[in-house]
Amino acid sequence: MSAQPIDLTLSPRRPRTREEVRARVTELISAEPELGARLDALRRFGRTVRNTEVHLTGACNIRCDGCWFFAHDFDSAVTDQRDLAKVRNFVERLKTDGVTSALLIGGEPTLVPDKIRPFVELLDYVTISTNGLLALPKDGFEDVAVAISVFGGGPLDDQLRAIHPNGRRFSGLIDTALDNYRGDPRATFVFALTEPGIRYIEDTVRKMADNGNLVSFNFYSEYGSDHPLGALEGRRLLDEALRVKDLFPQVVVNDPHYIETLITGRSHGKSFGYDVCPSISVDHKAHAERMGNGNPVLPGFNAWGADLETVQFCCTSGHCGDCRDSQAVHSWLLMSMHDFLDSAEDLRTWLGVSEGYWRQWCWSPYSPHHSSTTS
């Protein structure tokens, strides 16, 4: 059955109070107990995950067009912490503060595997974001989720990403990543969709499916351009993304509503942006007004610079007008259950979005590779 997107043209309503949300959820799940069981499972697992993000290094072995990290000079803003004892002390402090999950980004984390080890040894859930050029070793990293970036798909990926730091171009980056993570249950390809790559979406996902990997859709923001979010052919891009999701329902982990929100930037009459994005660093001094505007934030979330001292603005660039980051969009939808309570079907959509999010990570019970998969 073809996935039907939700109508996103609805006008935003008056926010429900917590009491109204609880009462409405109780009403909906009393009529459909299956929804209640799914919601309870999500809540039980979600309570075990308190996330942080860490820029593990400013170094990278390629220079992608559209990489916010280098476009906005994050590589030179702070000095890498290279003392492994201090890295361990930092992770110990995170654990003491209640952090259980870390997303390690760069630069390129696979360049510094020794800095990944303290996170693996001390925290319950660890994920790295990688360009795929190097394989993360398996020994000692068996339960680390590996999110492999792809921009555009097909030959467009080489055009956008296969660039050495000295500017010299090479080819075959996707194929190298596929070789490095063939049949690897840790690996999910985070495929950034873009309008010029519409023709490559199906074939690229097919390659990943044949390689034994999962796919999660992202949106390619062309940082530094006049139109970073494109959308000249947004409807056609959306239709193709939904069609490919239909072709590979077990490989593309995302729910159709998430895909539509990712590409349009809208859900339930609201637009994604700074005022609603929950993935801001709660200890950053710039967010006092945002923290008080009534929209949810991720509890205790901070993004840390590679010096392990600097609190970054948010989970990505801090340039909110250019951003449609997949993790930020996912967090917005996951923190917005109150918008999905008009009907049992609406709540079912939110459950699908949430379960699809957790399917990405090999350490999650929702992963198809997990021994106690819940979904």
pLDDT digits 0-9 by tens, 236-268:
999 999 999 999 999 999 999 999 999 999 999
Q: Is 2's pLDDT higher than 60? A: no
User: Distance between CA atoms of 25 and 344, rounded to whole angstroms?
Assistant: 9
**pTM (whole model) above 0.85:** yes
Per-residue pLDDT at 150 exceeds 50: yes
- Band of pLDDT at residue 221, cut at 50, 70 and 90: confident
Please choose, from the candidates 5, 49, 28, 1, the residue with its C-alpha nearest in 3D space to the C-alpha of residue 255: 5
Average pLDDT over every residue of 123-144: 98
Element (H, E) at 43: helix 33-46
End-to-end CA, the chain? 19
More confident residue, 35 or 1: 35
pLDDT of residue 66: 80
Q: Where do the H-state alpha helices sit in 182-317? A: 201-210, 234-247, 256-264, 288-291
Over range 115-130, report the average pLDDT. 98
| 73 confidence band (pLDDT: 50, 70, 90) | confident
Q: Which residues contact 68 (CB under 8 A, 6 or more apart)?
A: 74, 221, 223, 316, 317, 319, 322, 323
pLDDT, residue 268, reads: 94
Work out the pLDDT band at 222, boundaries 50, 70, 90: low
CB 315 within 8 A of CB 321: no
Q: Output Rg (C-alpha) for the chain, integer angstroms.
A: 20
Comparing 12-21, 229-238, 247-256, the range with the smallest average pLDDT is 229-238
Element holding 18 (H helix, E strand): helix 18-31
pLDDT above 60 for 230 = no
Secondary element (H or E) of residue 311: strand 311-312
Mean pLDDT of 116-144: 98
Which amino acid does the sequence have at 56? L
Residue 16's pLDDT is 81
The pLDDT value given to residue 40: 98
> Which is higher by pLDDT, 66 or 120?
120
Q: What is the pLDDT of residue 14?
A: 61
Alpha helices by DSSP H, listed for 128-255, are 154-161, 173-180, 201-210, 234-247
| pLDDT (mean) for 124-130 | 98
pLDDT band at 371; cut points 50, 70, 90: low
The number of angstroms, rounded, from the C-alpha of 328 to the middle of its chain's C-alpha atoms is 7
The architecture of the domain spanning 18-359 is Alpha-Beta Barrel (3.20)
